[in-house]
């Protein structure tokens, strides 16, 4: 059984694909994107088993011991559950594992063209300006964050100006013709505020 948040993200994704049938990759957009973090979610396999089969798992865990071996473990779980598997910010590891995707941080926007023929490319953005630049480089999907206050950026709990907010996020989705996923502080209570997104991405949000 899927987690409730994953089901709600899948609903957003379905609506997005219906509204944008001619958009590049519209029929192949992940309904849910989970980003691993061993400190926040020590046992991702417990969550992966409860995600829709067209979900995308991004292995981040930059500082974990035996990163490559752990990535192989997560990749095997993804294959077992028919999920896409990607690596964050390490194309060498992604190539070695024959990963489906590569996730890039905002500062690597300019590298999208040389990598997009190898991988399903996702990119993190934190402003509309960077999204506009990303749009011109044709990644497969983009994340915009933080939409809400999040433990990944604890300072955002004390300063609302550091978050994008649901209303602004929805407006940006309409202005930027790129599949956008909301990231940062998403939960079962606030996902109803998200409009026009291709879905959501989360680290902790899918914990049952």
For residue 89, what pLDDT is reported?
98
The Cα 188–Cα 4 span in angstroms is 7
Q: What is the average per-residue pLDDT within 178-204?
A: 95
CA dihedral of residues 126, 143, 89, 43 (deg, nearest 10): 120
Percent of the chain with pLDDT over 70: 97
pLDDT in tens, 10-34: 999 999 998 888 776 665 799 999 9
Asked whether the predicted pLDDT for residue 182 surpasses 90, the reply is: yes
pLDDT of residue 106: 97
d(CA 89, CA 103): 6
Q: Which two tokens stand for residue 199?
A: 């879905």
Out of 86-100, 106-120, 148-162, which region has the weakest mean confidence (pLDDT)? 148-162
Domain residue limits, the chain: 4-202
Q: Which of 92-106, 152-166, 173-187 has the lowest mean pLDDT?
A: 152-166
CA angle 142, 143, 146 (to 5 degrees): 160
Q: What is the mean pLDDT of residues 89-115?
A: 97
Mean pLDDT of 140-165: 91
Q: Percentage of residues in the chain with pLDDT exceeding 90?
A: 76
Average pLDDT over residues 33-47: 91
Angle at 19 between CA 47 and CA 196, to 5 degrees: 60
Please state, rounded to an integer, the average pLDDT across all residues of the chain.
93
DSSP structure class, residue 150: B
Tell me: the pLDDT tens digits for 57-101? 999 999 898 999 999 999 999 999 999 999 999 999 999 999 999
**What mean pLDDT do residues 177-198 have?**
95
52 pLDDT tier (thresholds 50, 70, 90): very high
pLDDT for the residue numbered 112: 97
Element (DSSP H or E) covering residue 73: helix 67-80
Residues 6 or more apart from 203 whose CB is under 8 A from it?
34, 35, 36, 37, 40, 41, 152
The C-alpha atoms of residue 200 and residue 183 are separated, in whole angstroms, by 6
* pLDDT at residue 158, rounded to an integer: 86
- The yes-or-no verdict on residue 208 having pLDDT over 70 is no
CATH number belonging to domain 4-202:
3.20.20.70
């Amino acid at each position: 059984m899927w987690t409730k948040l994953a089901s709600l993200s899948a609903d957003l994704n379905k609506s997005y694909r219906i509204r944008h049938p001619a958009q590049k990759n519209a029929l192949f957009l992940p309904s849910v994107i989970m980003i691993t973090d061993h400190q926040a979610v020590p046992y991702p396999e417990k969550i992966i088993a409860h995600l829709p089969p067209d979900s995308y798992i991004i292995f981040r865990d930059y500082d974990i011991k035996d990163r490559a071996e752990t990535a192989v473990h997560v990749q095997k779980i993804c294959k077992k559950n028919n999920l896409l598997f990607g690596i964050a910010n390490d194309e060498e590891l992604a190539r070695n594992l024959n990963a489906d995707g590569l996730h890039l941080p905002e500062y690597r926007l300019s590298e999208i063209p040389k990598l997009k023929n190898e991988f399903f490319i996702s990119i993190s953005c934190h402003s509309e300006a960077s999204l506009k630049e990303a749009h011109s480089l044709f990644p497969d999907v983009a994340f915009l964050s933080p939409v809400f206050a999040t433990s990944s950026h604890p300072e955002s709990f004390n300063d609302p100006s550091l978050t994008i907010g649901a209303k602004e996020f929805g407006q940006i989705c309409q202005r930027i013709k790129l599949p956008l996923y909301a990231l940062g502080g998403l939960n079962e209570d606030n996902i109803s505020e998200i409009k026009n997104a291709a879905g959501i991405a989360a680290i902790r949000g899918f914990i049952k």
